[in-house]
Amino acid sequence: MNTSRLAFTAQKMSHPIRPSDARFVSHAPGHWPDVAPEQWNDWKWQLKNRVTTLARLEELIPLTTEERAGVLLAGNKLSLAITPHFFNLIEPDNPDCPIRRQVIPRMEEGYTAPWEMADPCGEDSHMPVPGLVHRYPDRVLFLVTDRCASYCRYCTRSRVVSGAGDQELHTDFDEAFAYLEKHTEVRDVLFSGGDALLLSDEKLERLLSRVRAIPHIEFVRIGTRVPIFLPQRITPELCKMLQKYHPLWMSVHVNHPRELTTEVREALGRLVDHGIPLGNQSVFLAGVNDDVETMRELVHKLLLCRVRPYYLYQCDLIQGSSHLRSSVAKGVEIIEALRGFTTGYAVPQFVIDAPGGGGKVPINPSYVLYHDQEKVVIRNYEGKIFEYPEAGLPVVSHREVELFR
């Protein structure tokens, strides 16, 4: 690692240096060479200095015609915002850079395919009170903010996130908590939005403590991309506060191995060291992670960061996302190339969030070749065929039983 970059690491390395650490690098300060380390490591400075305009983008990197047109359209769909930390991961002279494709708008966002939707997961139709989505029997999605550190161009909630969409998020917190107190079947609450970790420590703690005061709620989850977009936010103070509300789980969102920088690895490590289990939810994106080599490198780096690859989502049918959508067949192909060829901990579950509110449906390679009342015929990752007897078959005949009496 370049020693000039060490000063920009948010915290001193808390784990011994290993050979695998060569996979993790810091890109600070990059396009901000004159910024002092104390500013760079301040998450509020990072938010204040996000790249949000066409003029600023063009100061930093050359844009393609498609990108320039996309930025001009962005304010009508989903705002442009990229933290300095994440912006430094973009390859300036590579229009096909996988980081660039995720956060810089393109003119294709203005095209809506016939099958695309404003609300592909049907959240609005499963919202009993404003800001609370109750789609599964025992768990709810609690939308606590409409802001993110940076905005992903494939955002499934672009209709309400960033303030540029067609709707506004009007979460009624009193109604939401009253609903949770009344519905004793709810045992699991997921904080999302937007990104809950953009809230101040004090506001986030108020929400956590109020949820924790409801007896039938067993655990809380936070869905976030802040540790990746804004690792400076994962302060020791935040981690100590979160630790008070166990069992608390966190789902992070990493799509490409380049996103796992030194700073991100250390931020994730601080969360784990405070007892927070981490799972990763990637979105399967064309030109970003839709090849076996990239996905294998991603899941292996996640495990080095003590993050379990959890879900690989087929890109939701959000309006203006067709240029980022890879095929389901290719997703199945990638899962098949991982299963059996690397540790099972590294293999995520490939899912489609069924359009219109059907929930997550697992999509797997076909390992079951035949199944009847007597047996199941299966193949393994090598293509070898095996038979397994179906449960419930008699072990011995009635005549044999009589002989033993």
The catalytic site residues sit at: 135-136, 139, 148, 152, 155, 157, 316, 353, 360
Q: d(Cα 405, Cα 273) in Å, to the nearest integer?
A: 61
Length of the chain: 405
Strands 132-136 and 219-223: unpaired
**Locate tokens 């301040």: which residue?**
42
Q: d(Cα 368, Cα 330) in Å, to the nearest integer?
A: 19
Q: Which of 122, 52, 117 is closest to 81 using CA atoms? A: 52
Strands 278-284 and 368-371: unpaired
Is 97 annotated as belonging to a binding site? Answer: no
Is 155 annotated as belonging to a binding site? Answer: yes
Helix axes 201-212, 173-182, angle to 10 degrees: 20
Burial (CB count <10 Å: 0-12, 13-18, 19+), residue 365: middle
Contact present, 204 and 197 (Cβ < 8 Å): yes
Q: d(Cα 266, Cα 231) in Å, to the nearest integer?
A: 8
Q: Which residues are annotated as a binding site?
A: 148, 152, 155
Q: Which residues are annotated as a binding site for [4Fe-4S] cluster?
A: 148, 152, 155
